[in-house]
């Protein structure tokens, strides 16, 4: 089981890493005002699946670390990561992750461009750096593992 869990979090991390890199490049290449509505919708979609992958990567990492995850919901996994001090180690603010989850849910059910733009501003100003902290945390964990330092 340990080997499968090891592979699962690393595979999920590879997908998260690709999604995060695409989201970051989209947000850093232009000012939000310069994007067309279709491009904005694409960036929102990228954010939604990046968030989906990051919380699931944390879920897999918790399980790999031997921590019982219980209900596999974003809110529960965020709480588990905070309780297990994983977010402290990753320099992640759990409240920002909760806010990210709320934004993701709001964006899935909103078709108002003013709301899109407000949420995109939050993604660019606040969420991107927290996602980067998660990305760097998992990079470090992969390096630690390849150096034989384990979880």
Q: Which tops the pLDDT comparison, 78 or 32?
A: 78
Is the Cβ–Cβ distance between 150 and 49 less than 8 Å?
A: no
Rounded to whole angstroms, the Cα distance separating 62 from 54 reads: 12
What is the value of pTM for the model shown? Answer: 0.91
CA angle 124–138–101, rounded 5-degree value: 45
Give the single-character DSSP code of 34.
G
Rounded to whole angstroms, the Cα distance separating 113 from 97 reads: 23
Nearest by Cα to 13 from 149, 103, 140: 140
CATH of 2-146, one of 1.10.150.120, 3.40.30.10, 3.40.50.300, 1.20.120.330: 1.20.120.330
- Structural domain spans, the chain: 2-146
CB-based burial, 128-142: b 16+ in 10 Å, e otherwise: bebbebbbebbeebe
Give the single-character DSSP code of 33.
G
Which tens digits make up the pLDDT trace of 89-145?
Answer: 999 999 999 999 999 999 888 778 788 888 999 999 999 999 999 999 999 999 888
Q: Which helix (H) or strand (E) holds 144?
A: helix 128-146
- Indicate if the pLDDT at residue 146 is higher than 90: no
19: number of Cβ within 10 Å: 21
């Amino acid at each position: 089981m340990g080997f499968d869990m090891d592979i699962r979090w690393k595979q999920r991390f590879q997908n998260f890493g690709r999604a995060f890199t695409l989201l970051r490049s989209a947000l850093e290449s232009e000012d939000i005002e310069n994007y067309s509505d279709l491009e904005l919708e694409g960036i929102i979609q990228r954010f939604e699946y990046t968030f989906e992958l990051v919380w699931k990567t944390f879920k897999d990492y918790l399980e790999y670390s031997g921590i019982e995850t219980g209900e596999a919901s974003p809110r529960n996994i965020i709480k588990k990561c905070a309780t297990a001090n994983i977010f402290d180690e990753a320099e992640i603010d759990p409240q920002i992750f909760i806010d990210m989850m709320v934004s993701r849910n709001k964006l899935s059910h909103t078709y108002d461009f003013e709301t899109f733009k407000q949420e995109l501003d939050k993604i660019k100003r606040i969420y991107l750096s927290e996602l980067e902290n998660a990305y760097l945390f998992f990079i470090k964990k992969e390096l630690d593992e390849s150096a034989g330092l384990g979880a």
